[in-house]
Structure 1
Amino acid sequence: MRSLPLTLVARLLPVAVLAAAGVAMTTSDDADARPGPSAASPHPSRTAPASPAPPSGGQGRGTAAPRYPRPPAEPCATLPAGTVKDLVPAAPTAGTELRTSDTAHRSGCSWHALSGFDYRWLDISYDVSASAAARARSALGGGPSTPVPGLGDRATVSLNVTTDGEQRIREAVVVARRANAVVTVTYNGGDFETHEAAGADEMRQGAVAAAKKALAALDG
């Protein structure tokens, strides 16, 4: 059995220890706060743009109210504990809420853990901002993605493999839209003993399963 790579050890340390070691945390008021890019993270850093300010004057006359005026207030409660245990073994089911400066329109949660030498990361994010639909159209219409029938109004899933040193990580990303809400699910993993990426079917199916639960939570 090989010892854990230093990159994984650093990834699993408490935030306070990471900060003391010099790993920066994003605290900008203009973006969601996630761990900054680092060789210590097999999970790529993705910082979504801040939602633009709504036009002055509020909604015009005759404009229908959005179906989802706010994202889930408790995003870490949107996935059942059983789903978290299946997709991220050994992770605390409570999850870690993703911080954002725009809580009126965006929320999210992440789970990550090491089980033996198998590493898994899962996160979900909700966006009901004025620009959410436009960003969803761009994400749904481009890149090497495939449609996911029966998921929301429209959904796609994409797969990607990255390499950090000898370690390969496979990531599946599902982008799903329902009315004015966009849900993005990211699921990735790899084996830190064999250095192989997690299986494509496992990542794809896991991300789609999480997206179904996340979408269902929009309606309570």
Structure 2
Amino acid sequence: MHRSAPRLTRILACAAVPVMLVVAGCSSDSDSKSEDSASSASPTPEAKKSPTVAPARFGKLPDPCDSIGEKTIEDLVPGTKTKGGTDGKSSDVSRRGSCSWNGLDDNGVKGSQYRWLDVSFLRYDSDASLGVSAEQRAEESYEKEIAKAKATEGAKDVKTSPAPGIGDEATTVNYRLRKTDEDFTYATVVARTENGVVTLTYNGTGYAGAKNPSTSDMTKDALKAAKEAVASVTTANK
């Protein structure tokens, strides 16, 4: 019994050797396959690409005070003392600008007619970092300008209607507003042409017993002036 113990120990030791080798071999193959699998599963990082957006169609704006013809100014704003208009202040004339005219047509005992006309321009560039085109930015601005006109403080009987045939899209906003103890009739035309937005506001009233202008007449004249202003954007970029 005592002599067989060392022999048994040697047999068990020898038997254990191949088992360890097999286990080691399997472990090595398994690790290698895992590494290969992990390596193939990890994609090669790629540099982030900036989104491609369409370039701006218009790169500049017209002189606001030259955007409406002299004859139109004479018809819409009779009695104006500044036919060349009053230029609005702008820190960047390539992106924004405005001009206004006002006049009083005094008809003596028949009363007087007051008119005020204002036109403003906004131009937008594409923003590649945000993936937004100049036209998309102008579309957003167009909607905001319409909302702004509709939200004019004190405005009554506000109505909007499409204005086809002016730029890519246009809307007329009509309302009445009382100021200086008189009722003024307003017609605002907001139009978008490519990446530019034009807002034209025309208003007036009758003094000393003169009849106030009708909404239809004011709208007709405002649309005429708006067409000229929008066309001037294209002309300025030729």
Q: Is the 8 A contact 2:113 2:210 kept in 1?
A: no
Q: Which moved more, 1:104-113 or 1:134-143?
A: 134-143
Partner of 1:194: 209
> Which letter maps to 1:177?
R
- Residue aligned with 2:83, SS: coil
Structure 1 residue 148: Cα displacement: 0.7
Partner of 2:178: 163
TM-score after normalising by structure 1: 0.67
- Residue aligned with 2:208, SS: coil
Distance 1:102 1:196, change over 3 A: farther
In 2, distance between residues paired with 1:101 and 1:201?
Answer: 36
Partner of 2:116: 121
Partner of 2:72: 83
**Unmatched 5+ residue regions in structure 1?**
1-59
In 1, distance between residues paired with 2:84 and 2:147?
Answer: 33
Partner of 1:97: 87
The total of aligned residue pairs comes to: 160
Matches within 5 A, 1:21-60: none
Partner of 2:60: 70
Distance 1:64 1:160, change over 3 A: same
Structure 1 residue 137: Cα displacement: 2.3
Structure 1 residue 103: Cα displacement: 2.1
User: Of residues 88, 94, 97 in structure 2, which corresponds to 1:107?
Assistant: 97
> Which letter maps to 1:126?
F
**Unmatched 5+ residue regions in structure 2?**
1-49, 107-111, 126-136, 151-158
Greater percentage in helix: 2
1:138-159: CA deviations, max 9, x gaps? 4457953100111111101011
- Residue aligned with 2:79, SS: coil
User: Of residues 154, 169, 172 in structure 2, which corresponds to 1:154?
Assistant: 169
In 1, distance between residues paired with 2:97 and 2:57?
Answer: 17
**Alignment root-mean-square deviation, CA:** 2.0
Structure 1 residue 62: Cα displacement: 4.0
Distance 1:168 1:195, change over 3 A: farther
> Which letter maps to 2:118?
D
Structure 1 residue 135: Cα displacement: 2.0
- Residue aligned with 1:151, SS: coil
Structure 1 residue 194: Cα displacement: 2.2
Q: Which moved more, 1:99-108 or 1:150-159?
A: 99-108
Structure 1 runs of 4+ aligned residues shifted over 6 Å read: none
Higher-Rg structure is 2
Q: Which has the higher contact order (CA 8 A, sep 6+)?
A: 2
- Residue aligned with 2:120, SS: strand
- Residue aligned with 2:90, SS: coil
In 2, distance between residues paired with 1:126 and 1:148?
Answer: 18
Report % sequence identity.
33
TM-score after normalising by structure 2: 0.62
Structure 1 residue 198: Cα displacement: 1.9
User: Of residues 192, 195, 203 in structure 2, which corresponds to 1:177?
Assistant: 192
